Amino acid sequence: MNNKIWSGFFINLLGVVLGILLTFGGNALWQRHEENRKTREMLILVRNELKTNKEWFKGQEKIMRKDAYVFKKILEVKSDWTSIPEDTLIAYRSQTQNIGFNQLTTSAWQILQSSEMIQKMTDKELVIRLTDCYFWIEKIKEFIEIQYWDVKTKTVAPEVDLYLYFDALMKNKETVFFYDTMSSESLANWNLFPFIDAIIDYTIMLLDKRGDFRYDMNEKDEEIEAFIQQRVDSVLLEMIENQ
């Protein structure tokens, strides 16, 4: 009788223990699943943010390249504005006064960076690459918004008349220096654009390759990785040589 009682007791106890273990184990698995899901969703947001920023940089480079062309033409003429067709001169003035731009966004990265998710990510190389990528994004953003747009805003002449407008521009030493610097093809900062383009592509590739989500990747991951890495290295080397 006692044996049956003890046997039943141990069976019940074992059931309770197993129930507790399964409950805690199930909760732990579910918690890990939720953490992975949230991390995955956050990385998708970061990936989309990088693609948006890539387009932003392309747009900024296009505007700045056009500026460089216009600046060079203005410097070549300097004072003989009648040699330029009026509609062209109007277009030049419009370009020199074009200082509006949209902000790039880093909010997804800031949320990830300040969360516990990034600390629990097992792919440390991806974390390093993301950190490096956003470092360069902030670096080039600073160049565009402070060294370029801020200076350009200060050099805009207020005159309405076309000829007076350009005469005022060429009398401003800061403007002439700015135009001369930015119209130079040897400007080292021009290399920042192909560099950021390559490093964003490389980071997106790592997100696609190392994550559980694959948007653009195929079976030739290693070839793509080597190609993009070569782009990053070649542009970085050119930047160093031009310093």
* Sign of the torsion formed by the C-alpha atoms of 83, 85, 90 and 94: negative
From CA 193, how far away is CA 145, in angstroms rounded?
14
The answer to whether 151 and 214 have CB atoms below 8 angstroms apart is: no
- Mean pLDDT confidence for 92-108: 83
Query: Is residue 234 pLDDT above 70, yes or no?
Result: no
Question: Can you give the pLDDT at residue 50?
Answer: 94
The answer to whether 53 and 105 have CB atoms below 8 angstroms apart is: yes
Question: Can you give the pLDDT at residue 14?
Answer: 61
Write the DSSP symbol of residue 84. Answer: S
Residue ranges of the domains in the chain?
A: 2-242
Mean pLDDT, rounded, of the chain = 77
Residue 102: how many CB atoms within 10 A of its CB?
Answer: 8
What does each C-alpha distance from 80 to 25, 84, 88, 158 come to in angstroms? 82, 8, 14, 20
Question: Can you give the pLDDT at residue 118?
Answer: 79
Question: Can you give the pLDDT at residue 12?
Answer: 62
The answer to whether 68 and 39 have CB atoms below 8 angstroms apart is: no
- Mean pLDDT confidence for 113-126: 79
pLDDT > 90: percent of the chain: 9
Residue 230: how many CB atoms within 10 A of its CB?
Answer: 11
Max avg pLDDT among 43-52, 103-112, 152-161, 214-223: 43-52
Axis crossing angle, helix 2-77 with helix 86-96, rounded to the nearest 10: 140
Q: What is the CA radius of gyration of the chain?
A: 29
Question: Can you give the pLDDT at residue 129?
Answer: 85
* Chain centroid offset of residue 188 CA: 19
Q: How confident is the model at residue 217 (pLDDT cuts 50, 70, 90)?
A: very low
From CA 89, how far away is CA 79, in angstroms rounded?
12
Question: Can you give the pLDDT at residue 202?
Answer: 84
Question: Can you give the pLDDT at residue 6?
Answer: 53
- Mean pLDDT confidence for 228-242: 58
